[in-house]
Structure 1
Amino acid sequence: MSLPPPEDSVGVVWSRILSVLSKELSEQSYKTWFEGISLHGYSDTSLVLSVPDQYYGKWLEDHYQNLILSAAQEVLGKAVSVTYQVIEKPKTAASSPSHSRSPKDRVSGLVSLNSNYTFDNFVVGPGNRFAHAAALAVTDAPARQYNPLFIYGPTGLGKTHLLQSIACEIGRRFSNYKILYISSEQFTNQLITAIQTKTTPQFRAKYRNLDLLLIDDVHFIAGRESTQEEFFNTFNSLYDAHKQIVVTSDRPPKEIPSLEERLVSRFGWGLVTDIQPPDFETRVAILKKKIEKETIGVPDEVLYFIAGKIKSNIRELEGALIRVVAYCTLTGNKLDVRVAQEILKDSFKEESQKFSIEEIQKTVADYFQIKVSDLRAKKRTLSIVRPRQIAMFLVRELTGYSLPEIGEYFGGKDHTTVLHACNKISAEKEKDIGLRGVLDKITGLLKKER
């Protein structure tokens, strides 16, 4: 093969090939397999792709070879061969010390780290406070407490954010650590490749010489006998050597179907903690954190509106904000609740409007034997204030209307008044069985009337 062409030429060719590939692959597949490689060089007849290790190259060859060949032919105008090479980057005196590299660079793995996933960018609330504290404890003293650390919860609540934050922070504090962040699917794929290429000893050496292993979505290894066997032995090797293990899952170990009991037991050796959906205040804080770097101002009313609509998935929450900001930035429209409602109308689940505010007000008024007009008036007698607070709380819980919108339906109350009422009822119902019973009865009446 001829010498690699000038760097600019290589960059242009590779950029065009990636452009073709991105149109043929899902976003996840593209990010997983093609953002971590580069074009080392090319000649009239062949391309050489630079890959992190031989397992990576073997996987690309087995699963994406034809697609890569097709993309290369489209860009170069002729058929070429493609080979893979593990490229050792030359070390220079200026760059050899490990502390000259960023923490992210010191974390290996096939899944690239998100630079926004740091502890500084993680918004702490009641639903994730304990998991966040445990993650910080692990970074302070790896393998000394909470080993393994098992974090579980539904998709989109910040498990991956915490996992990558741990990886980056330990990489920053312990520059000599060997750290691997990877998904369970990638672990399985690497094992399969190692078995096929008869390089299982190298695979085991790679994993069992780590100081920190972080595996995302570990529940995907359930039901895979060979993968569970290999992970079990890897776990034992690292644990016995006092190395830190952190994993995430969508459910606790005991509830993962087809997960071997010995692995359930191992996960229980450390700390098992969950992440719950964020409450309203945390959702607003997440949105405010998201807009810190935006050049366009976002009114609080818009943040309250979005936070009131999307309650269970942080990625969807942030995605909704991005859509609204992008639309107003590109069109020059004023950003307000009306515009946000129009842009996001297709994103909200139908059940968020299952009950109307009027229905809830009428049911609450009937239950307490008062008039609906009393709920909307400015009367501050206890016999009216309490039902009004309960009605506001139920509207927020059952409809997803924003705080300002709720206030308008209750005689033009300020959003802070609505927030106070909702917080008061939310806090009291945790301790007051009678109040919980009232809320359940009213909710039951609403459903019965439907």
Structure 2
Amino acid sequence: MLPTNLVTVAPTLSRDDTAMWNGVGVTPAADRTDSDPQMANQQPALESLLRSIIGPQSYQLWFRDKTVLTIRNDEFVVRVASPFLSTWLQRQFREPINSVASSVLGLGARVRFEIDGTLAVAAPSANQTLSIAASTSGADATPLGELPKAEKDLPTTLRSVSKNSVAAPSVDALSAPRTESVSRTPNASARRFSVLSDFVGGPCNQLATTAARQVCEAPGERLNPLYLFGGVGLGKTHLLEGLYCELRRRFPSWNIVFLTSEQFANYFTHALRSHTLPSFRQRFRGVDVLLVDDVDFLDGKRVIQEEFLHTVKTLESLGKQLIVTADRHPRLLSQTSEELSTRFVSGLVCRLEAPDLDTRTRIVQHKLTQRVLELTPDAIALVAQWFRNNVRELEGALNCLEAHFALSRQRMNAATARQILADLQRDCVRIVRLADVERAVCDLFRIIPDELRSSSRARNVSQPRMLAMFLARKLTQAAYSEIGEFFGGRNHSTVISAERQVQAWLADDTPFTIAARQWSAGELLQTLEQQLLAS
């Protein structure tokens, strides 16, 4: 079984003739790019190798001017003129193509067929192709009844390709692209990456953006690994994608790989099942820069963690750059091995926080430059004030306004925007309950609810209890007596005292130690509030 994110551009074949042989079509979507300057130099060598296997006649008849052979990152890519030609080549030249890929990329090489309609324009007609094959002289001349020397040395299964190709369908039929595929580009299914220039910086992400610039200047030399964490919709993936694009621009000849931790797990599982672990390890441990999104996905997956740990060790020993993102601090990955989490901490850990009002305003202004939408300054301020949890809420509000703007084509003021966004803003309001506060505090401090409600006066219990009472008073409509009753049957004066104590902590910026990390009182409460309002 192959990973769930397989991409096969060629038409789907029958089970016996499927294009997915020996790992064909397996690739992270982010690895596909046509920006590699080495591709132009690779094609002649690949063509020569394929020609030596299948013979000059078969090569000129079915590949010359109808295909483009390239190595894209760690894949052997065959671009063809039409889906029909793709199907034919996969059936008739499967083993020769796979042999070329294996000789260049090693065992477990992956082959991808892509449709490029532009090749059909340059492809010669059937008569031209056959006349070229018939008029070939010298070393390239190969009578129909005689096999070239290179082909005689091949197994019978490979030699049969050239024989069968004589009775193949007409070249015109294969070269003519289907109507539905003419407008399709080779990278139609490729992932669209965000760029650093679109990332709006502010106090909430200043450290992360500064670290990103330093990594782009000297990958692997400092700030390695770079660990970015924060809540949902705060720009972690955007920043990671921007780093990927910038690094590829600055170092076009480097092997730079971007993928999610789920993709890493899928590839590892597939390698285990297909017995291609050496190829898998060579693929990810031989990179210059590895960028992994949502590494917290590996939390609790012991076997995959072990493989990822050895990958991190190898990259570290070779001085290669590792950049990862997660939704929480490495110390809070409770089911991740200590050795892996400490390696994350050994680099630079950067937190991305919810944007403040000024940053949200600049984000809205920047996004308006990319949309067909006109807002007055007071309408921009309204959107920034109403939707404060993350950037995705801002994008959703702008999408709603843009849809209404398409109807009227009139510049929207604050009154119009307030009327349009009233329902959306009301739906985004998070109703916080006492049980939600209890669960968030217990999760952060790693205690159970019974301890929070107990009569214990130990500091590791009393401090979380006072924080929970403070947040319950701030974020819920519960009275002092209700809060006291919920947290262990206490009276209202206990809740009032806890509220005053937390306010004193905030005024003094009292530090708290959680999982060997120092948190200020303000940072601690902000983290809890964001979790409660976003969950």
TM range (shorter): 0.5 to 0.7
Match of 2:310 in 1: 233
Note the residue ranges of structure 2 that are not aligned, 5 or more in a row. 29-89, 95-109, 116-188, 432-473, 476-505, 510-520, 526-535
**1:242-279 CA deviation, whole Å, 9 max, x = no partner?**
00000000000001120111111111121011001100
Match of 1:306 in 2: 383
Output the TM-score relative to the length of structure 2: 0.48
1:347 to partner: Cα distance: 2.4
Distance 1:276 1:168 in 2: 23
Match of 1:114 in 2: 192
CA contact (8 A) 1:52 1:87 kept: no
1:129 to partner: Cα distance: 0.7
Distance 1:42 1:327 in 2: 41
Distance 2:22 2:258 in 1: 14
1:287 to partner: Cα distance: 0.7
Amino acid at match of 2:26: Y
Output the TM-score relative to the length of structure 1: 0.57
Structure 1 residues 336 and 56, CA gap change in structure 2 (3 angstroms): same
Match of 2:251 in 1: 174
Amino acid at match of 2:394: L
Match of 1:137 in 2: 214
**1:281-334 CA deviation, whole Å, 9 max, x = no partner?**
100100111011334322111111111011111012122112201221134455
Match of 1:33 in 2: 5
Distance 2:402 2:112 in 1: 42
The partner residue of 1:86 within 111, 119, 130 is 111
Structure 1 residues 256 and 57, CA gap change in structure 2 (3 angstroms): closer
1:217 to partner: Cα distance: 0.6
CA contact (8 A) 2:13 2:19 kept: no
CA contact (8 A) 1:214 1:247 kept: yes
Distance 1:303 1:255 in 2: 37
Structure 1 residues 55 and 260, CA gap change in structure 2 (3 angstroms): farther
SS of residue matched to 1:230: helix
Structure 1 residues 350 and 232, CA gap change in structure 2 (3 angstroms): same
SS of residue matched to 1:124: coil
- Supply the RMSD in Å over aligned alpha carbons: 3.9
The partner residue of 2:415 within 338, 343, 354 is 338
1:432 to partner: Cα distance: 9.2
Match of 2:60 in 1: none
Structure 1 residues 319 and 248, CA gap change in structure 2 (3 angstroms): same
Structure 1 residues 351 and 164, CA gap change in structure 2 (3 angstroms): closer
Note the residue ranges of structure 1 that are not aligned, 5 or more in a row. 1-31, 59-81, 91-110, 355-396, 399-429, 441-450
1:226 to partner: Cα distance: 0.8
Distance 1:276 1:42 in 2: 45
Q: Quick check: 340-349 or 121-130, which moved more?
A: 340-349
- Summarize the alignment of residues 240-389 of structure 1 with structure 2, pairs less than 5 Å apart: 240-332=317-409, 334-349=411-426
Distance 1:286 1:432 in 2: 33
CA contact (8 A) 1:325 1:335 kept: no
CA contact (8 A) 1:41 1:47 kept: no
Amino acid at match of 1:87: R
> Is 2:292 the partner of 1:224?
no
Distance 1:51 1:314 in 2: 42
Distance 2:223 2:250 in 1: 18
Distance 1:152 1:44 in 2: 45
CA contact (8 A) 1:51 1:87 kept: no
Distance 2:319 2:335 in 1: 28
SS of residue matched to 2:324: strand
**1:187-235 CA deviation, whole Å, 9 max, x = no partner?**
1111111111111111111001000100001011011111000000000
Amino acid at match of 1:326: A
Kindly, what percent of the aligned residue pairs are identical? 33
Structure 1 residues 343 and 203, CA gap change in structure 2 (3 angstroms): same
> Is 2:264 the partner of 1:152?
no
> Is 2:176 the partner of 1:204?
no
1:46 to partner: Cα distance: 9.0
1:177 to partner: Cα distance: 0.8
Distance 1:136 1:432 in 2: 34
SS of residue matched to 2:319: coil
CA contact (8 A) 1:178 1:210 kept: yes
